[in-house]
Amino acid sequence: MFTMPLTADAELRPLNPWHAEEFLANLDRARESMTPWVSPAFVATDLPQARHVLQRYADRWARDDGGIWGIWSNGKLVGGVLLVSLNAETGVCEAGCWLEPAAVGGGLVTRAVSRLIDWAIDERGLHRVEWRVVTGNVRSIAVARRLGMRCDGVLREVAPGPDGRLDLEIWSLLAPEWRARRAGASGD
């Protein structure tokens, strides 16, 4: 089984359909903080929907066009990261995340997304990692900045939202930028 440590008491590992109950409990704890920012198709409200979301990502993983991983802290699922899309032919993927409020502030998402970017660039040979965020989602934008991403632009009123149409910011990071950032961090 694949497990990657994030901190002394947190780890990143695959999130599979058989985790549906734990995933639903995590979404229930995170629902209020996620709802303004995440697609309703992701935020399952019952066990069959939770299983369906995880199966959809398992199928994406099998097709090599996406995937989902959970963040466990002290043995409890507190959030996760995902590849919303992955296109090996074009060398582009879109990463995303979620985290329940009790786990915010410990750097778990930044560490987990860093591992995901390492994998996408080093293992899969992708060139561009995108981060799409609803304008106003300051926590998600802060993650993009911490990872060294740049804002490419804003898609104005691209999606319907509960209070009108939403603007979507596109942030990105290119493989050479990520490699240079890692080299600088390691002192090479």
Q: For the chain, what are the domain ranges?
A: 4-186
- In the numeric block, which tokens belong to residue 110? 């930044």
The one-digit pLDDT tens for each residue of the chain (188 residues) are: 478 999 999 999 999 999 999 999 999 999 988 887 887 777 899 999 999 999 999 999 999 999 999 999 999 999 999 999 999 999 999 999 999 999 999 999 999 999 999 999 999 999 999 999 999 999 999 999 999 999 999 999 998 887 889 999 999 999 999 999 999 876 65
DSSP string, 71-118: EEETTEEEEEEEEEEEETTTTEEEEEEEE-GGGTTSSHHHHHHHHHHH
CA angle 159, 66, 144 (to 5 degrees): 60
pLDDT of residue 151: 98
Host H or E run for residue 177: helix 175-186
Which superfamily is assigned to 4-186 in CATH?
Gcn5-related N-acetyltransferase (GNAT) (3.40.630.30)
Question: Exposed/middle/buried for 155, CB within 10 Å: 0-12, 13-18, 19+?
Answer: middle
